[in-house]
Amino acid sequence: MYWLFRAVFPVAVISVMSVSCTENDTDKYDAGDANLRILAMYALRDAECGTTHTLSGFILGKATRTSVDLCVSQLYMLTCTEWQVSDPATAACKAIGISFR
């Protein structure tokens, strides 16, 4: 019985660990979609506020949907006065690597 425990226990532990390490990609945007969503909001804010900013930081890998959506919603909530600074990227945008010039 002891040998059965010694054989089964490590396999069970490794199985549980490997299942918990898998990542679900359904809650992530790929880099192109994430950048497109942020660029669309950035262009809208520039058009509304009469400014021109250059995007100097891009998302290079997958980003969680909540992070990108939070960045976009925070950009939308900025007033034109807040948008007219040199780098209007909010904390949520900077956390995922977005910056403006």
Tell me the pLDDT tens digit for each residue of 50-89. 998 887 778 888 889 999 999 999 999 999 999 999 888 8
| Number of domains comprising the chain | 1
Is residue 66 domain-resident?
yes
Full domain range(s) for residue 56: 24-100
Is residue 14 domain-resident?
no
What is the percent of the chain with per-residue pLDDT over 70, rounded to a whole number?
71
Mean pLDDT of the chain: 80
Is residue 51 domain-resident?
yes
- Buried b / exposed e along 3-30 (16+ C-beta atoms within 10 A): eeeeeeeeeeeeeeeeeeeeeeeeebbe
Nearest to 72 by CA among 20, 36, 25, 23: 36
Whether the pLDDT of residue 19 is over 80: the answer is: no
Is residue 30 domain-resident?
yes
Is residue 15 domain-resident?
no
- Entry field: residues in the chain: 101
pTM over 0.85: no
